[in-house]
Amino acid sequence: MLCLKARAKINWSLDITGRREDGYHLMDMLMQSVELHDTLWLEEAEDFTLLSGADNVVSQAGDGQESAAPVPFDENNLVYKAAKALWQYAGKTCGAKVTLRKGIPSGAGMGGGSADAAAALIGLNRLWGMNLTMEELLKIGLKLGADVPFMLTGGLARVSGIGEIIRPIADPPKIWLTLWQPCDGLSTGEIFSGFDGTPAGEVHHPETDAAEDALIRRDMALLGRKMGNVLEKVSVDRRPEIARAIEKLRAADGCKAAMMTGSGSVVYGVFAEKEQAEAALERIAGEKGFMAVTSTAREGVSFL
């Protein structure tokens, strides 16, 4: 049996620089893996099955309610799609029993489905003895979703194009984060469509070069001034709770910055110390939604 961690990600910055003729958005992003993760167990089997793991968590709210839609465990799941993509690439169908335990909330902008796809590609490649290179897996992964290539490489990186151009940034700092999903999940497609309808003058682009420099120099104050997410306003218009959550995290002692990740709906507060992040979590413990303390990570997928 193989066991893998599929880590979530955050965006330190998210900018849209244009759009290709085929409709895909051109991105410029600073992305980093975090320790919050899903877990996949892979076993040899005659047929392919995808099961929900015991103690499966989709998105547990602070008040005991779920704040995101349940994850499908059928052919719509990206783990299943990753397996099919490997079959098509290799020209053969293989069996496996895959058990997936969710720890990453859905509709969160943290790449939970993409992380699962990346872990499935890496794990099934080994289980089935396909010996595909990372370059081949990246090519397959891009067809599954724009975030999958980064999830395969993980760590800290500048990501551009439609997600296929990845420039790793060495020696990423460890930073503590308080995560909060204060509302229902959001549809990535809906948010990008909303952005397309936003007048250019109302879009506030992040200073991604400066944010990258601040991360490398571990200047959290500068990072807080230069980071940004062009999708945040679109998501806030649909879920005003996001803006309130950002302000409450910013007000926490020791918070260097707070922002929405991806297309939402998770927001995060940035802290230098674990104790500060935990204190911020205690401060919002009575609120609704998924909450957690985590830290940045140096890799996206790893074997246990």
Active-site residues, by number, are 9, 147
Query: Residue 282 to residues 61, 64, 253, 278: CA-CA distances in angstroms?
Result: 14, 16, 12, 6
Q: Three-state SS for 206?
A: coil
Q: Let me know: does 26 contact 160? Beta carbons within 8 Å.
A: yes
Q: What is the amino acid identity at position 285?
A: A
Q: Let me know: does 156 contact 168? Beta carbons within 8 Å.
A: yes
Q: Let me know: does 303 contact 2? Beta carbons within 8 Å.
A: yes
Q: Please return the burial class of 35, using the count of CB atoms within 10 Å of its CB with bins 0-12, 13-18 and 19+.
A: middle
Between CA 4 and CA 301 the distance in angstroms is 7
Report the alpha-carbon angle 158-242-161, nearest 5: 20
Which of these, 170, 168, 120, 179, lies nearest to 148 by C-alpha position?
Answer: 120
Q: What is the amino acid identity at position 47?
A: D
Instruction: Tell how strand 165-168 and strand 156-161 pair up.
Output: antiparallel
Q: Which residues contact 10 (CB under 8 A, 6 or more apart)?
A: 31, 32, 34, 110, 177, 261, 262, 268, 296
Q: Locate 278 and state its tokens.
A: 């935990």
